[in-house]
Each structure stands twice: as structure tokens, then as C-alpha cells.
Amino acid sequence: MKKRVTIVDVAERAGVAISSASAALNGRPGVSEATRLRVRDAADTLGFVPSVRGRSLSARRAFAVGLVVQREVEVLEADPFFGAFIGGIEEVLPERGYALVLQVSADAHRTELRYRELGANRRVDGVILNELQVDDPRIPLVGELELPAVGINADEATMLPFPAVRQDGGEALTRLVATLVTLGHRRVAHVSGPLEYVHTWQRRRAWERALTGAGLRPGRLVVGDFTFDSGRAAADELLTLPADERPTAVVCVNDLTAVGFMMRAQELGVSVPGDVSVTGYDGIALGTYVRPTLTTVQTSPRRVGRAAARQLLDLIEEGAAPDAEVEPAQVVVRDSIGPVPRN
């Protein structure tokens, strides 16, 4: 077996003390620039790979950040949004010598336990709080645990005690609903997510704002859970209403819900978009595979993930980080919407 190269080997090759080699490789003061370059050149020549444990002990950090996703595993399996978000985080962390500790939780109680486990003995240096909730219990929890944190898509009216990354999707969703109104739709329903989530309310407000701005009353509201099955259930509820109450357009909280709605509509003999127009939110690739292709609001989870990772590492290393804005979401019009059906 090949002998592992150590900091001792690097120091000997560079002709410096072990403490100087360590300071040079870890970016600490106390060595000249010439010494720093000589040590790094020796490390590269020998193929030296720093010990994460050694770094952690010397810097008093875990060099890891935590993400706890509170969703059923089946939902994560079906929704590529989370994969893109996590992928964005992973594009940043290795470049700065950090690792991601990812955990999945099915409910709020288990989520709290996961955060307490991560905070105990500093298993991570900070956490990313995705899918913020109304009166989110994680906000005081990370304060209690003294964990640096970054929030994802916090409501701008809510003052967080830590930085946030935001991507505005409300304006795009408002424009999308306005497009439906322009096409003649007057009964526009909404299938929302669970009411405890901030982004559920953000999308609901955008739907309501567009309709009231056009002088219309918001249509029927069905509360779902972001899943394909909740879209199917919403179709059963909305498409079996009397003809004069049935919506002619349905705005779904995400693409999975919208695809479930469309599939069930077709099973019920309801044409999309001939009888009902359907829209989604997120812009996952699945929306381009179904027929008709799905009109949606295109978000950027990968960019949001990258921004959140950079922001959290700056907070950990510098002690402060400003809020960050990612380029706003955009409307993508495809084949699942059309003019209001003629009676």
C-alpha cells in the first residue's frame, strides 16, 4: 500500500517547520508569500491531501454544512426540484473545502431532532433552511443552537435573524394568471400547497392579486400537498362541479401537482386545454415530456442552491453575509393553456 503523504512530508520537502507548512496551507498569517508558494508547490508535487479531521481540529470547524429536507421520501423521489437545489449547493462546497450533511425527515418532530443532532458537538458549521414555514420553529431553534443559518425564499415582510436567498416568483405568477384572464378565463381556481409553508402563501397571494387586479373574484381554492396525487384529487373535486361553477383554468402550486391534475382530467374525459387550462410552477423537465406540454413559472433551484451555499460559507467564515437575490422566475407558455371554452 502506498504511504499517505502527511504535513510532515510537505514541511520537509519545502524546508520549513511543520507549523509554517500548516499555516501556509490553511491560509493563516505568520508566513511570507514566498514560503506560502514554496509549501503549496511541495504539497502539489507530493500529492498531499489535507486531513479534514486535522483541519477541523486546528480551525475548530467541522467544514460541513447541514440541510434537513422535511418531505416524504416518495415525494423526493418524484420531484427533481430538490435534486437541482442540492446540486447547486454541491457546486460550491467542495471548492471551499466543505461537505454537505443531508438528512431527510418526515415530520416536524423528527426535523427538530435532526437539527439538534447536527448542532450537538458542532457536527456542522451552519445550516440551510429551505421551505420556510409560517412561524417556523426552526428559526428560534438555530438561534438556541448558535448555528449560522441561511433561509430560502423568506417572505420579504418577515424579518429573519439571519441572511436569506430569494428568487421572486410572485411577479411571474401574477403575469401568468393575467395571461389566463386575457384568454377570457373568469373562473380561475388554485390548487395550493399546505398552508403552513411560506411559499404556499406567496403563490396564493399572487393568484389572488392577479384576479382582483382584473376586477375578478378569486375562484375555488383546493389545498394540496405538492404531490402528483394531490393534483389528481383536486381534479376530482373541481372537474365534477356543476358546469356553471367548474373552473375553466386551474393554477397549480407546482408542476407535479399540475401534471397529476392533467392526467386525471384526461381520464375524466376533460380536454386540456380545450375544456380547462392548467398551469404549474417550478419548471421541472417533466413538464416538457407530458402532452400537452405544461405552461409554468420557471424557477432556478440550482442557482438558488449555489447562492445559499456561498452565503452560508461567507457567514461562517466572515461572521456576516448580506441577503442575496437570484434572477426572478420567468413565465414559460406551452400547450396546456388556451382560450376560454365556448359554451
Domain count across the chain:
3
Average pLDDT value for residue range 40-58: 68
Is 0.85 topped by the overall pTM?
Answer: no
Task: Say what the pLDDT of residue 51 is.
Answer: 55
Q: Are residues 132 and 221 in the same domain?
A: no
| Predicted pLDDT of residue 334 | 98
The pLDDT value given to residue 57:
44
**Same domain, residue pair 179 and 293:** yes
What's the CATH code of the domain at 238?
3.40.50.2300
Distance CA 253, CA 277 (A): 14
Q: Count of CB atoms within 10 A of residue 11's CB?
A: 21
**Domain assignment of residue 341, yes or no:** no
- The domain of 141 spans 64-167+301-328
Digit-coded pLDDT (tens) for 272-303: 999 999 999 999 999 999 999 999 999 999 99
Same domain, 102 and 198: no
Grid cell at residue 296: 409554468
Residues 246, 196 share a domain: yes
CATH at residue 24 = 1.10.260.40
pLDDT in tens, 228-263: 999 999 999 999 999 999 999 999 999 999 999 999
Do 94 and 209 lie in a common domain? no
